[in-house]
Amino acid sequence: MLISAVACENLMPIIKLIKNGVIPLIQIGIPIVLILLGMLDLGKAVMASKEDEIKSAQKLLIKRCIYAVAIFFVVLIVQLVFSLVDNSGDLGQNSWYDCWKQA
């Protein structure tokens, strides 16, 4: 889809918000929160000194770490796929990805 330079200028505040605010929040903030919550659960289980709670908290922490890594890489993979899709189009035409790169 072709996007004019005027449309890029009109969309620039939204693109900057998404690129500099929402994506880093998803890519970095959510994994940090997941790991912190897992550490809190493990800390509670250790303070309770119950072996079965510690084992379940360890499993939960490992799962949350895996989810955190997956969330981090899913964002990177989506960005890579979109850049590859954009590069497969006609050369010399403005596209949405050109607006994205300008932001």
CB 54 within 8 A of CB 45: yes
Is it the case that residue 2 has pLDDT exceeding 70?
Answer: no
Phi then psi for residue 94, to 5 deg, are -75, 140
- Give alpha helix (H) positions in the chain: 5-17, 23-24, 30-48, 51-87, 96-102
Residue-wise pLDDT tens digits, 66-97: 999 999 999 889 888 887 877 665 555 556 77
CA distance 96 to 14: 13
pLDDT at site 62: 95
Residue-wise pLDDT tens digits, 15-49: 888 888 899 999 999 999 999 999 999 999 999 98
Phi then psi for residue 39, to 5 deg, are -65, -40
